[in-house]
Amino acid sequence: MGTILDYCTLVRSKNAGPFVLTFDFMFRDQAAYEHVRDAGVLTAELFARLYRTAEERITLVFHERALALKVSLPRPKVQCAPDDTDCYAGQQYAPLLDLEL
């Protein structure tokens, strides 16, 4: 048990171009990577629910050599659209920090 920061050295959200929101999770070590990969918490279903999109539009890739998880999805609001308040998408990861793993 624990939260995501118990397992990660970095959690970040970024633009991958103006239309895609992307998340990077960098794990502390191999054990943390495997634990989270196998825990089944960080799933396409979770991101679809939190960021309000369809599950099939989520790209979710575990990258073992980088000890990382990559998740990308259509940006909930296009970068700098009238209702966008996070031009670099830099704070969109915040709700993930409270998740119980």
**Interface contacts to another protein, rule CB under 8 A:** 14-20, 22, 24, 26, 50-52, 57, 59, 61, 63, 65-68, 70, 72, 74-83, 85-88, 91-92, 94-95
User: Which tokens hold the place of 37?
Assistant: 């990969």
Nearer to another protein, 4 or 24 (CB): 24
The residues pairing with 61 across neighbouring beta strands, listed in sequence order, are 70
Instruction: Find out whether 32 and 5 touch, Cβ atoms under 8 Å.
Output: no
How near is the Cβ of 6 to another protein at its closest, in Å? 19
How near is the Cβ of 46 to another protein at its closest, in Å? 13
- The closest of 51, 56, 97, 50 to 77, measured between CA atoms, is 51
